[in-house]
């Protein structure tokens, strides 16, 4: 059975940042978070929290529900991968 492999939301956020030509520091300022918080998200070491989803919505990058659904899809796919026996 082929598994759905969604991208981590941090990858999508990085793509958005690149399109805007924003640095991590500049984007973190716009989002109202620390550079470290954003960096952890961009590198897949943290997920999109409800607070981050609202911050992304405030800067016009979709809506909070979208970001939370994307994170949930990613998390579910990762858990499925862990629980699927190797062939």
Hey, what domains does the chain have and what are their CATH numbers? 9-83 (1.10.260.40)
d(CA 75, CA 25): 26
- Give the model's pLDDT for residue 42: 98
Residue 57 and residue 73: Cα distance in Å, rounded? 18
The total number of residues written for the chain in this structure = 87
Query: What span, in angstroms and rounded, lies between the C-alpha atoms of 52 and 46?
Result: 11
What is the residue whose two structure tokens read 């499925």?
80
Query: Running DSSP on this structure, what letter comes out for residue 86?
Result: P
What mean pLDDT is predicted for residues 69-75?
97
Indicate the SS3 state at residue 85.
coil
Q: What is the pLDDT of residue 61?
A: 96
pLDDT of residue 2: 58
């Amino acid at each position: 059975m082929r598994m759905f492999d969604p991208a981590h939301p941090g990858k999508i956020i990085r793509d958005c940042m690149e399109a805007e030509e924003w640095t991590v520091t500049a984007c973190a300022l716009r989002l109202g978070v620390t550079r470290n918080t954003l960096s952890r998200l961009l590198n897949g070491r943290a997920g999109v929290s409800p607070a981050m989803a609202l911050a992304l919505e405030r800067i016009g990058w979709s809506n909070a529900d979208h970001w939370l659904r994307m994170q949930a899809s990613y998390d579910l796919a990762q858990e499925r991968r862990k629980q699927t026996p190797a062939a």
